[in-house]
Amino acid sequence: MKPDTQILLVEDEAPVRDVWRRYLQRWAYTHEIVPNAEEALALARRRRFDLVITDLAMPGMSGQALLTTLKAEQPELAVIVVTGFGTVQVAVEIMKAGAYDFITKPINFVHAELVVKNCLEQLRVQRESVRLQKVAADLQALNELKEKFIAITNHELRTPVGIIRSVAELLRAEDDGGELGMLVDILARASGQLTEIVSQMHEISSVKSDKLQLRRTTFNLGELCEEVFAENRLVLQRRELAVQRRVADELSVFADRARFKKVLRELIQNAIKFTPDGGTITLEAYCEGPDELRLRVSDTGVGIAPEYQTRIFELFYEVRDASHHHSSADDFLGGGMGIGLSMVSDIVAAHDGTVRVDSALGQGACFTVMLPHQSSCAA
């Protein structure tokens, strides 16, 4: 705090002022020195000071009166009182009025330097605390605005997107196989993508408002994996991505099937996005002990730098420089909205589970989902 610290010294005795000046210069504090409280008050009203060091007994306005006035006008201003041995009790009373500490006369400047240092450090900590509280309040307001935006967007988009998809299905039913059919297919794919985005926004809105209701059932995990890979079969073939599955046929899980499918789908699609053509995606699931499920999705893709690994589960966060474009999330390094992994984290957390990533640049990534006994598995 020393480089920008401003100290105002108030002392009516000229020889004492000279000694203080030498020590303040030696301590490298920027300072002003005045001979009475009236000048100090006028100067403090014109300029910003961090600390006022004032003698207590002075002709005219006393140090006590100066302290009372300054603390009323500038509560954040720190004040140290200098007093003689005979008025220590008065100084204690002044501390109750808001002074940080007092220094007794004759002044021990080794002790005085320590008092000043401690005072300025406490002032720095207080200011930093205030700054962090403001940052926290701003972040909270931003988070509330983000959640409100998600809720409004979800509500306002659902109806028009539903209409577009319904019209596309009607047009497809009347298709005669001509050029109209190609246009309808484009419209249907686009409306399907919009529907998925709205569905994700709805999921996020539910999670963020603590309205995510789980409907747990016992289901076969291998069958669920087959469904997800079937949904992505065309892109896997087009991109020549090899798939390795290590899931026992009899492995069953007690969880919300629909939402667990979202978790699996997002992890597989994330692996597709960040694995170059010709790479390999591996999915394995097993029971760790009698009542914990572990599911791993790993790839031979570009990997994730350590500085990003704690942030990839944040809503709307995308690793910088990782996505080349936003034309297709199915293409290598295709774009996205930064929703998928956040939703994975929220759904797993709703099951009282955890998800982690292990990765290094150029060495692929491995996402591990761990569900506790509430989502027990049995083989």
Q: Kindly state the helix (H) or strand (E) to which residue 40 belongs, with its residue range.
A: helix 37-46
**Left if phi > 0, otherwise alpha if psi is -120 to 50, otherwise beta: which for 28?**
left
Provide the pLDDT for residue 331.
67
For residue 322, CA distances in Å to 278, 300, 317, 334, 366 come to: 19, 15, 12, 9, 17
At 333-364, the pLDDT tens digits run 665 656 778 889 989 998 999 999 999 898 99
Angle at CA 299, nearest 5°, toward 297 and 300?
165
Look at the domain 216-378 and name its fold.
Heat Shock Protein 90 (3.30.565)
In the numeric block, the tokens 């059919």 are attached to 181
**At the top level of CATH, which class does the domain 2-107 belong to?**
alpha beta
Q: Give the type of residue at 161.
A: V
310 within 8 A of 336, measured Cβ to Cβ: no
How far is Cα 119 from Cα 127, in angstroms, rounded to an integer? Answer: 12
346, two tokens: 């929220």
Provide the pLDDT for residue 153.
66
Q: For residue 55, which of 3, 26, 15, 6 has the smallest C-alpha distance?
A: 15
Q: Give the type of residue at 168.
A: A
Domain residue ranges of the chain, discontinuous segments joined by +: 2-107, 143-208, 216-378
Paired residues of 54 in beta bridges: 10, 81
Q: What percent of the chain has pLDDT over 90?
A: 45
pTM of the model: 0.53
Residue 98 CB-density burial (10 A; 0-12 exposed, 13-18 middle, 19+ buried): middle
Provide the pLDDT for residue 320.
55
At 165-217, the pLDDT tens digits run 777 777 777 766 666 677 777 777 777 777 777 776 666 666 655 567 789 99
Q: Is the pLDDT of residue 332 over 90?
A: no
How far the first Cα of the chain sits from its last, in Å, is: 63
How far is Cα 2 from Cα 123, in angstroms, rounded to an integer? Answer: 12
Q: Is the pLDDT of residue 146 over 90?
A: no
